[in-house]
Structure 1
Amino acid sequence: MSSYLAIDETLLEAKNSLWTAKEIMQQPDCWRATLSIVKAARVQLDSWLVGILDKQNAQIIFTGAGTSAYVGEAVVGYLNQQLDITCRSVSSTELVACPEQYLQPNKPTLLVSFARSGNSPESVAAVEVVNNYVKECAHLLITCNPDGALHQQAAQDENYFSLLMPVQTLDHSFAMTSSFTSMLVASVAIFSDADNAVLTITEAVEKNIAGKLAELKALAELPMHRLVYLGAGSLKGYAQESALKLLELSAGQVMGYFESPLGFRHGPKSLVDDKTLIVLFGSTNTYTKQYDIDLLNELRSDNQAIDVHSLALPDNAMRQQLDDVFNGLYYMVCAQIISFYKAWQLGITVDNPCPTGEVNRVVQGVTIYPLKQGDIND
């Protein structure tokens, strides 16, 4: 009989938790499939991108709502190192609400939109806002749903390029797991030579995650009311998504928080008490690691938290000295598992942690207001 996360499949299904467990564990297969999709589209995609990114003073904005926004937060620092073009991460919720703060009419812009469903109101509206406000713009849509509004729109306009993720990344569960990491893999593969690094971390997850389950379950079952994820650079984006995953899957019963190691001392550290778990995503960057170690030693010396835990890559991946944007994929799977086990311990139906409907799989109840002349001051 099959099991996921060391829990029998029939029990998972009976407790409406099977899809989340399955989608967490399928991620290595999804990442390989994503690389294949990017490779198959490479010639056409590169030809399309050249006409946009070669424009003087061009920029790339990565956008999305909620979890999809954190894809951009995790990749933007790495891609700024790889590309001779400015990359920014701005959530679609911000682009729609305050477009004048993030868009310049005369700056050629490639908007890279991440979306699981492609139907979130802000994700669809962000594309229209950029079209209406920026004179030269184009749209790369990285989505998981062939029936979504974003993907359907791309078929009608040569100014759009839609890249669909593997079919299994259209998560059945409430929380985004394989969709998040696969869209992230796609973005680094599109804009950099990332295949070998992705395959290395994929193998590390496959070989090591089963042996990590007992440790992650023990962390999740600590009597905590708050979990703080810490990470620097790209790992801060992963920490942000990890905090949200805990909040979502625990139905708000356990608060998730994120910060950078250096930033944590500047006020947020005051939240630590004996029911706070702290998890650090350790950097493999030699310089950055020094700050991680300093804070770890300080937090452990304070002896205030219920536990201060540092996640580190398995040895085989460590030897490769991968950039942290790739290391974060391993950490992300660990964080998703912690969130699952905490929800399971609390008796929550993990596939639908909010059955009363206050929070939905695709956001509802958002009114999008049309931009009128005079609404934006250039």
Structure 2
Amino acid sequence: MPDVQDTTADWTLREIRQQPLTLRETQKLIDGEGGRIDAFLKPLLARKELRMILAGAGTSAFIGDSLAPFLSRVLGRSVEAIATTDIVSAPHLYLRREAPTLLISFGRSGNSPESSAAIDLADRMIGETYHLIVTCNADGALARLAGPRIATLVLPEATHDRAFAMTSSFTAMMLTALRVLGGPGGAQAATAAIADAIVDLIEGEEDRAARLAAQGFERAVFLGSGVLAGVAREAALKLMELSDGAVATCFDTSLGFRHGPKTFITDRTLAVMFVSSDPLTRRYDRDLLTELLKDGKCGMVIAISTREESCETIRISALEDASDAELALAYIVPAQLLAYQWSLKLGLDPDSPNRSGTVNRVVQGVEIHRPAA
């Protein structure tokens, strides 16, 4: 498949397929804006007392879940992932007046009510607040915010997914956070390698995704540890969304799964393991793969890995030296394809899968309540 935007399919598939292109274009934007963003961030990151929070709602929150442990290690400081939905519903638990805070907000549309409310609460309840905003919509509420303590990155227009489910917006915003916060070393070459790997994945895995969706599984569990725990959560949400809840999904870590959630497994369950590149973490991933195969209770076990595993493997061999944070950008693509094909198998419209109309592309029905002083 050429590395160009697809114009023949519905929006969901087009936006999955366009990710090699949108990642390259996002990297170009980061390169061009690097000086401005670095000038904003460098003095802040030099402050040891600065608190860093990665925030978003739904899929946007899972960017923080994925990257917080990686960025904590790279930056040598605590980086927290707190969903805007948690901040807004219980700000007194998450915001500290005495702690200077950099709030990094992710939003595809930038119009979710919790996104704006979280920023407003942070400004009112914290003595010194700074904002780095990453959004895909130049016309959204987040993109319109301005001020001396705000830096905004509006990503290429194509990343503003038109379909219901976030796909290219997720990977573009994750790449942006990884590059601007995690350091630019070798960024262009690394992003190009990830984009090339995704091209190969899309060319090779669409048929497998259709085959898996056709097998009639009733449940799916996605497993990953460290950075990949957030990816597993996003994969579970994608399938839940695009199946309109018809497929029961869950997510867990390789070690956590044995502590009760393993009861989710039946002979009608598909288990998908995101295998870590970290040697220690990978051993725990492989232990659970071996256990699931030995148990013989799971309908099917699949690994997504840079190496051949003991079960059917979606192998991404070109990224064997990549970190889990970079692998996340490629690993999510087979899960997106699976969710898309499952949606079709169920007779749904992947661009608008919720038949009841009670779940929307941009969340509706949220009334923001002002906390007591």
- The 2-side partners of 1:285 and 1:217 are apart by 30
Tell me if structure 2 keeps the 8 A contact 1:58–1:86.
no
Deviation at 1:77, TM superposition (A): 1.2
Matches within 5 A, 1:176-195: 176-191=166-181, 192-193=183-184, 195=187
Counterparts of residues 1-378 of structure 1 (less than 5 Å): 9=8, 12=9, 18-154=10-146, 157-191=147-181, 192-193=183-184, 195=187, 196-313=189-306, 314=315, 316-319=317-320, 321-373=321-373
Deviates more, 1:280-289 or 1:261-270: 280-289
Partner deviation per Cα, 1:288-329 (whole Å, 9 max, x = no partner): 11111110111011111110111123464244x211111111
Q: CA deviation at 1:182?
A: 0.3
Between the aligned partners of 2:26 and 2:199, the Cα distance in structure 1 is 16
TM-score normalised per structure 2: 0.93
**Contact kept in structure 2, 1:300 and 1:308, CA below 8 Å:** yes
Alignment partners' CA distance in 2, 1:281 and 1:143? 27
- Amino acid paired to 1:123: S
Give the length in aligned residue pairs. Answer: 359
The AA in structure 1 aligned to 2:239 is L
> Are the counterparts in 2 of residues 284 and 318 from structure 1 also a CA contact under 8 Å?
no
Q: Is the Cα contact below 8 Å between 1:105 and 1:134 reproduced in 2?
A: yes
1:376 aligns with none
Q: Deviations over 1:230-283 (max 9, x none)?
A: 001011100000000000000010012100011000000011111111000111
Offset of residue 84 of structure 1: 3.0
- Give 5+ residue unaligned stretches, structure 2: 307-314
C-alpha separation in 1, matches of 2:25 and 2:204: 24
In 2, Cα distance between equivalents of 1:213 and 1:49: 40
Q: Distance in 2 between matches of 1:221 and 1:139?
A: 45
RMSD: 1.7
SS of 2:206's equivalent in the other structure is: helix
TM-score by length of 1: 0.92
Stretches of structure 1 lacking an aligned partner (at least 5 in a row): 13-17, 374-378
Residues 182 and 315 of structure 1: CA distance in aligned 2, closer, same or farther (over 3 Å)? closer
CA offset digits 1:130-161 (Å, max 9, x no partner): 1111111101000011111111112xx11111
1:15 maps to which residue?
none
Q: Distance in 2 between matches of 1:86 and 1:271?
A: 33
Distance 1:161 1:318, change over 3 A: closer
Structure 1 window deviating more from structure 2 (99-108 vs 24-33): it is: 99-108
Question: SS at 1:171's partner residue?
Answer: coil
Question: 1:37-89: CA deviations, max 9, x gaps?
Answer: 11111111111112322234112100000010001111111111111332100
